[in-house]
Amino acid sequence: MGALTKFWESSVGKKIVMGATGVILVGFVIGHMAGNLQFFMGADRYNAYAKLLKHDIIEITWIVRLTLFVSVILHVMAAYQLTMRNRAARPDDYAMRASQSSTYASMTMRWGGVYLVAFIIYHLGHFTTGTFHPAFSETGTWGNVVIGFKSIPVAGFYLGAMAFLAMHLYHGVWACMRTLGLARPSENPLHRRAALVIAIVVATGFSLLPLSVALGIVR
């Protein structure tokens, strides 16, 4: 067995893969959220930013896309296999599930993760390819966002995704700090707080877009 296979087969190896890909994905969502806030600087600014990503630095964009794609696949595979391994270690379910915080966290991570994967697929078809968009324009990203969020169910679906993203980030960032050795194995309130701040800032920043359109503030 090669060293790489051995690493992947171990639980620690899978956790490190989850943590490392998690860092890449968190970096992307922070950057994407910050870029999206240019929505409030007007259509020209926002469209110019979208054009920069889609046309002017297209080679870099493709490297980022590929990195994100591989990261999501590895992140989900490691999560799935760790879940299956944990289940196999305890074939009989508990007679009564205790409502511990750890159970709560892993439930939201699993189901929140499923919601987020569905969200990403919808989101790419919505704003990137335009497949699920009612009036998609290749050059008018600002208009795509405004028209997209005029639909209340769509805005609601995005806000739901941001709530799950916040929970996912809160638990994930903290778990990742422990796995990658930035925090001691014991509770570290400072790292909990750092994870909370990242979760709230990212989810709130994104949510401002669907909220502002759905409430008629931006039209």
Q: Which of 65, 87, 110, 193 touches ligand HEM by CB under 6 A?
A: 65
- Find all residues with CB under 8 Å of 116, minimum gap 6, and list them: 161, 164, 165, 168
Which one of 41, 117, 118, 120 is in contact with ligand HEM (CB under 6 A)?
120
- Of 27 and 181, nearer to ligand HEM (C-beta) is 27
Interface with ligand HEM, residue 145, by CB under 6 A: yes
The answer to whether residue 68 forms part of the interface with ligand HEM (CB under 6 A) is: yes
DSSP state of 94: P
Q: Find the helix packing angle between 152-179 and 101-123, rounded to 10°.
A: 130
- Please answer whether residues 18 and 179 qualify as being in contact, where contact means their C-beta atoms are separated by less than 8 angstroms: yes
Which range binds ligand HEM by CB under 6 A, 61-69, 92-100, 178-186, 193-201?
Answer: 61-69
Identify whether the C-beta of residue 133 lies closer than 8 Å to the C-beta of residue 144: yes
Applying CB under 6 A, does 61 fall inside the site for ligand HEM? Answer: yes
CB 218, min distance to ligand HEM, A: 12
The one-letter amino acid at 67: T
How many angstroms separate the first and last alpha carbons of the chain? 59
Please identify, using beta-carbon distances, which residue of 84 and 118 lies nearer to ligand HEM: 118
Residue 14 vs 126, nearer CB to ligand HEM: 126
- Shorter beta-carbon distance to ligand HEM: residue 44 or 92: 44
Residue 93 C-beta: closest distance to ligand HEM, Å: 31
DSSP state, 180?
T
113 near 161, Cβ under 8 Å? no
What is the rounded distance in angstroms from the CA atom of residue 88 to the CA atom of residue 84?
6
Q: How far apart are CA 131 and CA 12, in angstroms?
A: 40
67 is an interface residue for ligand HEM by CB under 6 A: no
In the complex, the residues that contact ligand HEM under the rule CB under 6 A are: 29, 32, 36, 50, 53-54, 61, 65, 68, 120, 123-124, 127-128, 141, 145, 158, 165, 206, 209-210
